[in-house]
């Protein structure tokens, strides 16, 4: 694999299985990087991953992240500068504040294998997405 440079696109490349807008960034043998966005007031679908874990860094907006595993459950406020981990097997869901979009950059390890990676689960909030 060679080195790569990529700018953030204005339009999303795809929608994530949880409903968030995804703008693909760079990839390496060990992982992929992407930009995730929810519009004001949107709530993602709750999911867990089959084989990947993620590291998120909040770049804009405000929101909340719900995470649950076999031993713990919590809701974390999301503001620019916060980083969080989503270990393998963690159920999670996130939502944007009512008055502004939420944006984060995340690294998925190993690289994102495709839409079958995410499994929908019962979440903390009712999903609310555009369309």
The full set of domain ranges for the chain reads 14-115
pLDDT tens readout for residues 83-95: 999 999 999 999 9
Stretch 62-79: mean pLDDT, rounded? 98
pLDDT given for residue 51 in this prediction:
98
Q: Which CATH class is domain 14-115?
A: mainly beta
H helix and E strand count, the chain:
0, 11
Report the percentage of the chain scoring pLDDT > 90: 95
Give 15-66 as a DSSP string.
Answer: E-TTS-EEEEEEEETTEEEEEEEE-TT-BPPPEEESS-EEEEEEEES-EEEE
Alpha carbon distance 23, 9 (integer Å): 6
Report the predicted TM-score, pTM, of the whole model to 2 decimal places: 0.94
pLDDT tens readout for residues 11-61: 999 999 999 999 999 999 999 999 999 999 999 999 999 999 999 999 999
Which pLDDT band, with edges at 50, 70 and 90, does 131 fall under?
Answer: low
């Amino acid at each position: 694999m060679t080195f790569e440079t990529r700018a953030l696109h204005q339009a999303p490349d795809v929608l994530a299985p949880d409903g968030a807008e995804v703008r693909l960034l760079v990839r390496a043998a060990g992982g992929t990087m992407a930009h995730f966005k929810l519009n004001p007031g949107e709530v993602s679908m709750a999911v867990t991953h089959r084989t990947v874990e993620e590291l998120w860094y909040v770049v804009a907006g405000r929101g909340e992240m719900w995470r649950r595993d076999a031993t713990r459950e919590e809701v974390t406020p999301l503001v620019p500068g916060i980083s969080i981990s989503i270990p393998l097997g963690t159920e999670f869901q996130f939502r944007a504040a009512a008055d502004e979009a939420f944006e984060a950059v995340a690294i998925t390890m190993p690289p994102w294998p495709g839409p079958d990676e995410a499994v929908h689960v019962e979440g903390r909030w009712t999903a609310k997405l555009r369309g």
